[in-house]
């Protein structure tokens, strides 16, 4: 009979989570994240940045669960009323859950168990809630070997979740929030409280924790692209903490994810800013009669745009909105595409930036 190691409550021992290796990486990660927070404030319209990064995260996080789609498919899905394949719907649900979580944090400043359950419900679209039956195990996809058995009894799961939230909601602890982020992510994934959607829910909790602690103002840092690029290492290090309490390499991995992802996001923001400035100049010079700053910003909020968006944002009639978009297409800012019965106008240069990894 295999002895199942009991998941310990937080916090781990201090000496295990503040080694010299961890503290050196913490310095780099904190600097990169601070730069990201600062540059994000220089974007004149925060919504365009949030929309772009959130959709990328929804795609990348879902890809970890083998839900594969493309940026183009997602933008088409958001801008048209056609029926969507299940995989695209799941990614869009993840996007909804991110916005839901950000709203919860902005409104109340902390999370409750029912808030986490609501995030998972939004992702999965069911009301199953916290697991209440034993038998859940995590297996190696290739060999079928059981690599981890999470807590089985509902009372234990709820107790561990309560302990998790006690540490999640505390601000100004003497442990660095970024070190704590790594610990909390491990703990949530190890509790594995739901039948499905644990990974995606846990990755949303990462960004909410950064906002609670003031490390970011808006939800624009996501670690899923890094995890995707280093997936085998992610699971290997998680298992080492589970089996042997080997915290150091796990925490360094997560801190490195923050550093790399922050730097990539800064590059992406700079590219978006440069393109926005260039687009404004082109519109002012070549489409003088239709140029409005709000119109250009709309095209960056919604890279796949349409007449209805312009009507709603600018308060103009459909005929005028159509004329605006067509003229911007004539000067090379947009490209139109027929999708079903709808005509969509695509900010192609922005889409290319958003596709870059």
Say if 4 falls within a structural domain. no
Closest alpha carbon to 329 in 352, 353, 348 = 348
Average pLDDT over residues 49-77: 80
Last residue of a domain, one of 231, 262, 293: 262
Measured from the Cβ of residue 356, the count of other Cβ atoms closer than 10 Å reads: 10
Say if 37 falls within a structural domain. no
Domains in the chain, number = 2
The answer to whether the bond into 347 is cis (omega within 30° of 0) is no
Q: What is the pLDDT of residues 24-59, one digit of tens each?
A: 999 999 999 999 999 999 888 888 888 878 888 888
Q: Is 148 found in the same domain as 61?
A: yes
Say if 336 falls within a structural domain. yes
Last residue of a domain, one of 262, 280, 310: 262
Contact 351, 337 (CB under 8 A): no
Kindly report the pTM of this predicted structure.
Answer: 0.92
Q: Which domain holds residue 351?
A: 269-355
Q: Is 275 found in the same domain as 239?
A: no
Q: What is the pLDDT of residues 76-90, one digit of tens each?
A: 777 776 667 778 888
Rounded distance between C-alpha atoms, residue 180 and residue 206, angstroms: 10
In this predicted structure, the answer to whether residue 1 has a pLDDT above a threshold of 70 is no
pLDDT at 136: 84
Say if 84 falls within a structural domain. yes
């Amino acid at each position: 009979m295999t002895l199942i190691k009991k998941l310990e409550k937080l916090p781990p021992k201090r000496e295990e989570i503040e080694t010299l290796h961890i503290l050196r990486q913490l310095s780099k990660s904190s600097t990169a994240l601070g730069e990201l927070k600062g540059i994000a404030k220089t974007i004149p319209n925060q919504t365009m940045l949030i929309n772009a990064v959130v959709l990328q995260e929804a795609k990348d996080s879902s890809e970890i669960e083998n839900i594969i789609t493309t940026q183009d498919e997602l933008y088409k899905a958001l801008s048209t009323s056609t029926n969507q394949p299940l995989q695209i719907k799941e990614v869009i649900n993840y996007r909804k859950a991110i916005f839901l979580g950000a709203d919860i944090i902005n409104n109340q400043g902390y999370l409750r168990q029912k808030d986490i359950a609501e995030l998972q419900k939004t992702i999965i679209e069911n009301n199953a809630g916290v697991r209440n039956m034993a038998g859940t195990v995590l297996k190696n996809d290739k060999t079928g070997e059981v690599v981890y058995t999470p807590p089985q009894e509902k009372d234990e799961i709820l107790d561990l979740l309560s302990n998790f939230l006690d540490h999640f909601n505390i601000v100004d602890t003497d442990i660095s929030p970024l070190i704590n982020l790594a610990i909390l992510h491990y703990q949530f994934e190890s509790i594995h409280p739901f039948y499905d959607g644990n990974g995606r829910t846990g990755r949303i909790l990462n960004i909410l924790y950064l906002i609670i602690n003031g490390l970011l103002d808006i939800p624009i840092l996501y670690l899923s692209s890094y995890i995707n690029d280093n997936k085998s290492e992610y699971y290997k290090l998680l298992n080492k903490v589970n089996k042997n309490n080997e915290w150091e390499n796990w925490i360094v991995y997560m801190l490195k994810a923050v550093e790399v992802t922050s730097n990539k996001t800064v590059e992406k923001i700079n590219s978006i800013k440069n393109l926005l400035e260039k687009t404004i100049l082109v519109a002012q010079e070549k489409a003088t009669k239709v140029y409005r700053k709000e119109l250009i910003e709309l095209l960056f909020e919604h890279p796949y745009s349409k007449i209805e968006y312009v009507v709603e944002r600018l308060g103009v009639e459909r005929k005028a909105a159509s004329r605006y978009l067509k003229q911007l297409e004539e000067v090379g800012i947009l490209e139109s595409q027929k999708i079903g019965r709808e005509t969509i106008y695509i900010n192609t240069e922005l889409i290319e930036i958003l596709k870059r990894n």
